[in-house]
Amino acid sequence: MGKGQPSYTDEEFVAAIRRDDDRALAQLYRLHFPMISHYVLQNSGTEDEAKDVYQEGVMVFYEKVRDGSLELSCQIKTYLYAVCRRLWLKRLTDKTRFGGRLDDHEPYLETGAEADLEEAEERDRRLGTMAQALDRIGEPCRSLLEGFYLLDKSMQQLTAEFGYTNADNAKNQKYKCLVRLKKLFFNQYQEQI
């Protein structure tokens, strides 16, 4: 990649991402994108699909790192490749319905990607339910909760934004919203299970 940028080893990448180092993330992203893009293009995908699959794969990796639950038994490159390959094969089967004719004759690699992916799927489902619950909760709860939890705004900021007389009022409103969200969220989540 570009000259003058620090190059990381795998351990340094993991450490840097745990530290929330955006530059390391960006570099990791650039480093392995060509490989995945090539794989997807080779297997009847487009550039956009490659991007989607790769971002999903990086997300799985990133969240595992941030959790601190990542047990890397191989190179990051291999791990990402395995994850993205599984993701792409799944997409292809969904897309074609015929399933077959995939370039999947590669030896199975013990990368832990399979288990991680199942975990990630579960997490996706939960986050998806959360997104739906947030959609259905209505204003001003939605903006209030999004402001506090998603955009990391302070209670004072939110008080000013929503025109509450003081921070306590805003807080009380927030807790009421949380209770409503809880009902929506757990009802849906349980339904799905």
Partner 1 sequence: MKTEADYYALFDAYRSGGLAEEERATLEHRLAADPELARRLQEFEELTGTLTAYGRRLALRRKLHAIHADMDAERAVRLTPLAKAAEEDERHEQFATGRAPRPALRISRTEEKLRQFWHGHRATMMVAASVAVLAVFTTLLGMEMYRASQKPSLYGYTVLRREVERIKRNQRSMNRTLNQIDATATPEKVNPGKFSGTGFALTADGYLVTSYHVIQGADSLLIESRERQRYRAEPVFTDVAHDLAILQIKDKNFKGFGRLPYSFKRGQSDLGERVYTLGYPREDLVFNDGSLSARSGFEGDTGFYQISIPVNPGNSGGPLLDDRGNLIGIISGRQMDVQSAAFATKSSYLMRLVDSLGTAGAGKPYNMPRTNQLTGTSRPQQIRKLQDYVFVVKVYE
Region 47-66 residues binding partner 1, contact defined as CB under 8 A: 47, 51, 55, 58-59, 62-63, 66
Asked if 145 and 177 touch (Cβ cutoff 8 Å), the reply is: yes
Nearest-10 crossing angle of helices 22-42, 76-96: 50
Number of residues that bind partner 1 (CB under 8 A): 40
Tracing tokens 């959609």 back to the chain, one arrives at 135
Asked if residue 162 binds partner 1 (CB under 8 A), the reply is no
Asked if 60 and 120 touch (Cβ cutoff 8 Å), the reply is: yes
User: Is the CB of 108 or the CB of 193 nearer to partner 1?
Assistant: 193
Q: Which of 22, 71, 94, 106 binds partner 1 (CB under 8 A)?
A: 22
Tracing tokens 């999903």 back to the chain, one arrives at 56
- Each residue 139-158 as x (binds partner 1 by CB under 8 A) or -, in order, gives ------xx--xxxx------
User: Is the CB of 110 or the CB of 190 nearer to partner 1?
Assistant: 190
User: Is the CB of 85 or the CB of 174 nearer to partner 1?
Assistant: 174
User: Is the CB of 59 or the CB of 109 nearer to partner 1?
Assistant: 59
Secondary structure (DSSP) of 50-112: HHHHHHHHHHHHHHHHHHT-----S-HHHHHHHHHHHHHHHHHHHHHSS-------SPP---S
Label residue 99 exposed, middle or buried (CB < 10 Å: 0-12, 13-18, 19+). exposed
Sites of contact with partner 1 (CB under 8 A): 22, 25-26, 29-30, 33, 41-42, 44, 46-47, 51, 55, 58-59, 62-63, 66, 123, 126-127, 130-131, 134, 145-146, 149-152, 171-172, 175-176, 178-179, 181-182, 185-186
